[in-house]
Each structure stands twice: as C-alpha cells, then as structure tokens.
Structure 1
Amino acid sequence: MARRAARRLYRALGRRGVFLAILGIGKTCWGVSFLVDPPSDQGLQLLTDLCSLRHWSWLWITCGLITFVSAFLRVGRDWAGFAAAIIPPTVWAIAYTAAVLSGQYSRGLWVAIWYLTSHVGVILWAATVPEHSVPRVPRPARRGKAA
C-alpha cells in the first residue's frame, strides 16, 4: 500500500517536483537547526552584523517552505520554488566571500565555492531539466522492393 502511494506521489510530482520537495524539506530543516541550536557565526559576520543567526534561520525556513510547496505546481509554474531555493545559499556564499575579502575567515573561500557549486549550481541545472526526456523514436525500416 505504501509503495502504491509513493508511486502515485512520484507520478503527481514528476522529477522536478521530487527535486523541489527534497530541497524544500532540507532547507527547512537546515533553517530549523539554526533556530534551535545556532552554530558558530564564524565567517558570517556580514549577516550577524544585521541580526542574529536565529533571525537568519527564517530565511532558510521560508525559502524551504516556498520550495516545498512549489513541488506540487505544474512545470512552468514551479519557477518560484527554484528562485526561493537559490536565495539562502547565495546569501551565505556572499557572506563567506566577504569574510575572506575582509581577512576575517580564510576558510570562507572554500565554503563559498561549496555553496555556489553544490547548491546554487545544482539548483540552476535542475531548473533547466525538462520534466520528461524522451529519447528519439527510431525510424522504422523502409520496405524495399525485392530484386
């Protein structure tokens, strides 16, 4: 029974929807972790100068929920999910890059590159993947005249 429900959900969401649902859950959980037990703010001074990491957690939570809800929209209307998914890792990458440039956190360069590739890059790629990639149908063999 659970297998049938999972198959039905997969068919309803499609590949893009499944990606957005997983991403939305992950971003929401990441935001909740900042809310419940904020980590060190090393490298994030650009953000913490404005407000605490507990406040910034709501960026991850809100964007995660938008991303998750967008999973249930049709292809073409799910753009808000991809846009929301990009925002938090881009903000974090900017903060880490600023920390490197100011000399506050030299390791921030590698963290910024990680956010830009494994988060932003993957999201940008997934946004361009069509829902269904159907291979070309081979041409049927021609009937020739027997000699």
Structure 2
Amino acid sequence: MAAPAAWRRRLGWRGTALLSYGTLWIIYGIGLMTTPRAGLIRAASVITSLMGLHCWGVAWIVCGLVACVAATRRSGRDTWGFAAAAAPPTIWGLAYLAAGATGEYRQAWASVPLLAAPLGGLLIIAAVTGRRRRICTCEGRRRDGQ
C-alpha cells in the first residue's frame, strides 16, 4: 500500500488529473481506430475531411501520452501537458458544434457538453493548483532588516 500513496504524493492533483485524462484519451483514440461509428463520422465530418478517423485516433493517443508524461513533471513545468489534454476535446467539440449548426448532423450539438466537460475540469484543476507567480524578484524579501 505504500506504493500508491507515494505515487499520489508524487503526482499531486495536477499530475493525477493529467494522468487520468491522458489515459482516457489513449483509450478513446484506440476506440476511434478500432470501432468506427456512423454517427461519429457524420458529426466530425468537418475534421475527418482533413484527416481520416484512424489518424484522429492516433492524435488522441499522442495527446494522451503527452499528458501522461507531463503528469510526472512538477507544477508549473507541466503546462504543455494541459495543452495536450485540452486539444482533442476542443477540436472535436468545435467540429461537433459546426456539424450541428450547419445541419450536417443535427444531433451533434448534444455531444458538445460532453466534450466541454473535460475542458472545464482541466481548467479548474490548472487554476486551483497552479503556482502563484512572482511579479518581481524582490517580492518576499524585506529590505533594511524589516
């Protein structure tokens, strides 16, 4: 039982969030590559016209791996992991929104909140657990022995 506690201390909230989302994105990417669905293809037609579904699956997996690697970094040095974790649902959410708005696939709008929810979670974790940045190098020091 000491190993999970040590990992929890090492990762902290930020690392745990990145590891969780990264793992989910890897699984979702594998799902895109192995089980194509007609509704998903229609809803994501805006972006699947740029790259095939298999390539998008690889993109989700790569972003998931980047997030998992960033989970092991200290707070403040893991920002790139949050960007990688936020990229796939942002792109796909916008594609679903466009598909719903243009009538390409009217039901696509219903999936937008499901893609926006992870973004909200990532933003909250990043904001709440982010380190306070110093405004200047003199902050925190007292002058004249005070």
TM-score, reference length from structure 2: 0.83
Of 5, 10, 33, the match for 1:7: 5
- Which AA in structure 2 matches 1:24? G
Q: Could you say which structure has the larger radius of gyration?
A: 1
Cα distance between partner residues in 1 of 2:12 and 2:122: 16
Cα distance between partner residues in 1 of 2:77 and 2:130: 12
Matched, 1:121 2:131: no
Q: Deviations over 1:121-142 (max 9, x none)?
A: 111111112279xxxxxxxxxx
Cross-structure match for 1:139: none
Cα distance between partner residues in 1 of 2:29 and 2:120: 20
Cross-structure match for 2:30: 32
Aligned structure 1 segments of 4 or more residues deviating by more than 6 angstroms: none
Q: Deviations over 1:72-124 (max 9, x none)?
A: 000000101111111000111111111112111111112113212x1111111
Q: Per residue, is there more helix in 1 or in 2?
A: 2
Matched, 1:93 2:75: no
What is the aligned-residue identity percentage? 34
Deviation of the 1:39 alpha carbon:
2.4
Secondary structure of 1:42's aligned partner: helix
- Which AA in structure 2 matches 1:79? T
Consecutive unaligned residues in structure 2, runs of 5 or more: 132-146
Cα distance between partner residues in 1 of 2:113 and 2:31: 22
- Which AA in structure 2 matches 1:125? I
Q: How many residues align?
A: 129
